[in-house]
Amino acid sequence: MRKLLICLALILLTPAALAAMTGTRKFPAGGSVVSVDAFEVAWPFPQLKLEGKVYEGSPGLQIRGARGELLMVKQLPINAKAYMLLEQRTGQVVRLWILTAEELQELSPKSSGLIINTPLGTIEF
Higher pLDDT, 24 or 64: 64
Q: What is the pLDDT of residue 4?
A: 67
Q: Is 3 left (phi over 0), alpha (psi -120 to 50) or beta?
A: alpha
pLDDT reading at 112 higher than 80: no
pLDDT digits (tens, 9 = 90+) for 68-97: 999 998 999 999 999 999 999 999 999 999
pLDDT reading at 110 higher than 80: no
Give residue limits of the domains in the chain: 26-107
d(CA 34, CA 82): 5
Kindly state the helix (H) or strand (E) to which residue 2 belongs, with its residue range: helix 2-22
pLDDT reading at 104 higher than 60: yes
CATH number of 26-107: 2.40.50
